[in-house]
Chain A
Amino acid sequence: MISLAGVTAVLVVIAALRSLEAASDQEIVSGVLAGNTDYFEGLVVRYQRQVFRIALRVTRHRDNAADVAQEAFVRAFVALKQYDANRPFGAWISRITLNAALTLYSSGKKQGDERRTATLDNSNAADAFSTVARTEFETAVRAAVAGLPDGIRETFELRAYADLSYDEIAHELGVPRGTVMSRLARARERLREVLEQQGFGRESEAV
């Protein structure tokens, strides 16, 4: 009797692993929460490009992006109980990735230095000038984003770094879609103004 139950359990597990590729995110999540830690691999495979891309946008550095991406998955695993299965998993882990990247790597000089190293390493003398100009503009944009009022900034970051749709942002932040739309418009106007005040206008169009 016991062995029969054991065989059944093994068969169930094998069947579950086979169907893992076809399983929905929600099915994988409930499997992981039920104790099948290895199911989480399905989510790692499915979302690693997306997570890595967000991490790379924030850190501007492959090594740091790999760290952030790994950290984001671990954080998602740890917080998986809090995931609301009615919402898209992609948006949820994107937000986790963004927060991980911003807390780990966006603060202060360190990031700028690393980014400069990275970009200069990849440039030859001919386009060194445009590399420097672009780096300067990117730095100014980041500073301007960091200077946005909190609610607006987070909305804009979820859009610009994490590529979430307006509906996903509305879900994540718990605000109406119209609010997302107007916040983004305000964020962009504000960024444009700030950058123009700093002399980035025509130059930036040429970048």
Chain B
Amino acid sequence: MSAPGRGENICLNMRDLLSAYLDGETTPEETARVDAHLNTCEACRVVLARYRTIERAIAGEVPGADPAPQDSAVFTDAVMSRIREVAYSPTLKAHILKWRTPVVSALAIAATVVLALYLRPRTPEEPIHPAPATTVPSPQERREIAQTASKPSERRPLTSGGAPTPRTRAQIAEPPVVASAELGQAMGDIAPDETSVQGAKAKPARGGVSFVQDFYATRAAQTITGAAPAKSDSVVLDLRRKADAVRTELVSANETNSVDSLKLLLGDVLARIAERTGELVDIRAALTFWRQEYAVLAKQSSDSAVKSRVSRLEGILRSAQPKGSYE
């Protein structure tokens, strides 16, 4: 609290040396001088202690955090795959960066898609293959879905038995809200809005259908915007690698609520879509499309969950080039 008083004026000449002494940048002679001075001057000892405290506050390790990347090989692969993107395809780089921007909520919504279909039905031991579950379309059903995807007017959701049932537009749109609420509960700090959580309590979960809905939306958005880039096997493989990294990391870390995990999950879903369609998915176009879908719904419905979803998507789209984006 108190500034070192006694002898401070004399000691001011020592301050350059004291600072360099702290950094280990003094010559042996200088070190000896500082040592001798510190032996006789309490004021400078106090100053040095405070310098050290400041240094520790900056350079000290983060509690509970190992100061190294979690998995060196995974990190290296991730960096190199981005480097190759940059090196070989500037336009692709811009494209990939769209989903790499740190928009947590966008990731949360996109991860909804993955969680809904791929994570929930899996057993922990077999995270890759979806287990048979009544709420999830079988591979056969999913093929049907993929076929109808290009014809939005004919799309239909799947019920538990797999038999298609005519439904209204509003009914189709319910599941994503529900799935998002599940995500929110599971993911704590990255929870979507509370209204969705309320919705989850009121309605049964139908995660599989929500993936279908969002998958349609994505495909339709590509059709609408014509934004699909050229097919590239290496891109699909690259996404595939990212997806594999997801599973390894998620399983080994038993961690599903970090931003990184969400990014990796997003990589997973993009890989799967890319594999099926041979095209990259334009996340921004997909989000725009979802926003429009929900905006139409919001006019027809007084459901506050739908309204909050619209405003949430608008917020995400507004911040699609957030502070700290890559360019």
Contacts and interface: CB of A to CB of B under 8 A. Distances in A.
B202 interface: no
Nearest to B64: A122
Contact of A73 (B55, B83, B259): B83
B47 interface: yes
Q: How large is the interface on B (under 10, 10 to 19, 20 to 34, 35 or more residues)?
A: 35 or more
A145 B82 CA distance: 33
Interface in B1-36: 1-3, 15-16, 18-20, 22-23, 25
A199 B78 CA distance: 45
B58 A44 contact: no
Contacts of A62: 62, 65, 70, 258
A115 B259 CA distance: 14
Nearest to B72: A48
A45 B324 contact: no
B264 to A, nearest CB: 11
Does more than half of chain B's interface fall in helix, strand or loop, or is it mixed? helix
Interface in A164-198: 165-166, 181-182, 184-185, 188-189, 191-193, 195-196
23 contacts: A40-B80, A44-B79, A48-B68, A48-B72, A52-B68, A62-B70, A62-B258, A63-B258, A70-B78, A104-B102, A104-B324, A105-B324, A119-B62, A134-B57, A141-B57, A185-B15, A185-B18, A185-B19, A188-B19, A192-B51, A201-B2, A201-B50, A204-B57
Leading 6 A-B pairs by shortest Cβ distance? A122-B64, A201-B1, A185-B19, A104-B324, A141-B57, A185-B16
Given A104-B102, A118-B62, A192-B47, 13 more contacts: A48-B68, A49-B69, A63-B258, A64-B259, A66-B70, A73-B83, A137-B57, A138-B58, A142-B58, A181-B20, A196-B1, A205-B53, A207-B56
Interface of A: 37-38, 40-41, 44-45, 48-49, 52-53, 56-57, 60-64, 66-67, 69-71, 73-74, 77-78, 103-105, 107, 115, 117-119, 121-123, 131, 134, 137-138, 141-142, 145, 159-161, 163, 165-166, 181-182, 184-185, 188-189, 191-193, 195-196, 199, 201-202, 204-205, 207
